[in-house]
Amino acid sequence: MLRDLFDRNRAWSEQRQADDSGYFSRLAAQQAPEFFWIGCSDSRVPANVVAGLDPGEVFVHRNVANVVHSADMNLLSALEFAVEALAVREIIVCGHYGCGGVKAATEDMPHGLADHWLEPIRRLARAYAVDLAMCASDEARRDKLSELNVIEGVRRISETPILQKAWRCGTNLRVHGLIYGLRDGRLTALDCSIGPGHFLNEGVYGSAKERPWL
Ligand code: CO
């Protein structure tokens, strides 16, 4: 199987080279992606493929159920690099219907380490129990929870000191929430985008001018 992988790689690189002789030398010199994608590790939702983007066009972080943990150093390191070094213009949190991680979070049985990882989704399910109870089926309930998880991820990304600092510095950067349908291959916007001017504690602990340290 590994041999097959090398064969496919060789065929792909030769085809790319044939289509565009400067392709690899250009990409090797620098990457300048417009997008930072935070998605699920699910093998059926590869960022480049479902978004129709070429190598070099999207910087990617993926984890089980695209959870945004506020202290996940892996995600935060990638986010900081994407915002400050690559200067991406759009950040996308993308979930998907039929997510196994979201399903695991709704099951009343142990899943090992995943139960620690998926804790934010369990919390969401409790917080939105009334809304979820109105869904017609378990599948619909899990899909709704997948959407809520994306929206929560968008909020959490927006609340990181990394985004707060970028907006404070006048960077025109937006965070979007999308959901992918495994059945039809379509991306749908969840209308939860957050952009410049979204500051934490605004109107709660004083105005932006009084917090110059941000
Ligand atoms: Co998933």
Report residue 145 as tokens: 């929870």
Q: Which residues pair with 36 in a beta bridge?
A: 59, 91
- Nearest C-alpha neighbor of 176 from the set 101, 93, 108: 93
Task: Compute the distance from residue 124 Cα to the ligand 1 centre, in Å.
Answer: 16
Task: Compute the distance from residue 40 Cα to the ligand 1 centre, in Å.
Answer: 5
Catalytic residues: 40, 42, 44, 96, 99
CB proximity list for 55: less than 8 A, separation 6 or greater: 27, 48
Question: According to the 3-state scheme, what is the secondary structure of 127-176?
Answer: HCHHHHHCCCCHHHHHHHHHHHHHHHHHHHHHHCHHHHHHHHCCCCCEEE
> CB neighbours (10 Å) of residue 147?
18
Q: Which domains does the chain have, with CATH numbers?
A: 35-210 (3.40.1050.10)
Residues, Cβ < 5 Å to ion ligand 1: 40, 42, 99, 101
Question: pLDDT tens digits for the chain (214 residues)?
Answer: 899 999 999 999 999 999 999 999 999 988 899 999 999 999 999 999 999 998 999 999 999 999 999 999 999 999 999 999 999 999 999 999 999 999 999 999 999 999 999 999 999 999 999 999 999 999 999 999 999 999 999 999 999 999 999 999 999 999 999 999 999 999 999 999 999 988 776 655 555 555 554 4
Task: Compute the distance from residue 47 Cα to the ligand 1 centre, in Å.
Answer: 13
- Please state the pTM of the whole predicted model: 0.91
